[in-house]
Amino acid sequence: MGFSNEVTIACWFKSPGGGGTYPRLVEFSDAAGSSSQSTALCYDNDGSLRAWVSSESGIRGGEIDFSSTLYNDNQWHHAVYTYGSTNGGNLYVDGALKATATNNLTSDIHDAETFVIGGYYPNNGHGFRGLIDEAMVLSRELTATEVSELHQSTRTSCSGDCYLDSLIGQWDMDESAWNGTSGEVEDASPNNLNGMALNGATTTTDGKVCRAGEFHGINC
């Protein structure tokens, strides 16, 4: 999937902390899952958040490392990372802007050949511990108003269909179970980017909206 100068990554997450080092809440990258070619929204095991984009030449930009508040309280939080080559990267949590970064701005975000939720594609060392729900990737930079609207609407129901003009992938995690079968993690967008659960990831009824993906700190 092609990207140019804008992107938005969003999801609900719930964690007590722990898990691997900088597990990815949501990440896309090249076919090998290279971190140098990735765009990601990450959660460290202490409850801090990171996010960035990577250019086609492998340079990270709009890179945010936010630890002023730690989200290891085992409560649901809505994280959104937006990026535009003019405004840079912005991190929102629960509808509020938390951090901005304008380093290494690029208008050529690396295209997506792999998508990962709750881990890091090449290995098991970056697994998320907790629940993830309503994960989304869009090909444009949502405004602050749109981020707030998305946060409010996804409190009870996912509103991804409102952004069909730019929706790349939307994984609602509402399947009754996962068992490692190809295509079982369904993408609700028109792009049919269906995935497969690895390393014991499954679903639970304890979702923010209906069910959620449950990850155990080793999944990728």
- How high is the pLDDT of residue 158? 46
pLDDT attached to residue 19: 87
Structure tokens at 193: 């980017």
Q: What is the pLDDT of residue 160?
A: 47
User: How far is it, in rounded angstroms, from Cα 5 to Cα 56?
Assistant: 11
Determine the distance from the C-alpha atom of residue 2 to the mean position of all C-alpha atoms in its chain, rounded to a whole number: 17
Neighbours of 129 (CB within 10 A): 21
Task: Report which secondary-structure segment, H or E, holds 152.
Answer: helix 144-153
Report the C-alpha gap between 201 and 28 in whole angstroms: 19
**Range 6-216 classified under CATH 3.60.21.10:** no
Q: Using only C-alpha atoms, what is the Rg of the chain?
A: 15
pLDDT at 179: 92
Q: Taking a C-beta distance cutoff of 8 angstroms, is the pair 193, 204 a contact?
A: no
Q: How far is CA 6 from CA 45, 53, 55, 213, in A?
A: 28, 9, 11, 27
Instruction: Please tell me the predicted confidence (pLDDT) of residue 35.
Output: 83
For residues 112 and 9, the answer to whether their CB atoms sit within 8 Å is: no
Can you give the pTM of this predicted structure?
A: 0.93
Residue with tokens 């804008």: 6
From first to last of its 220 residues, the chain has per-residue pLDDT tens of: 778 899 999 999 999 999 887 788 999 998 888 888 999 999 999 999 999 999 999 999 999 999 999 999 999 999 999 999 999 999 999 999 999 999 999 989 999 999 999 987 766 667 899 999 999 999 999 999 999 989 988 645 544 455 667 999 999 999 999 999 999 999 999 899 999 998 889 999 999 988 999 998 764 3
User: CA-CA distance, 131 to 142, in Å (whole number)?
Assistant: 24
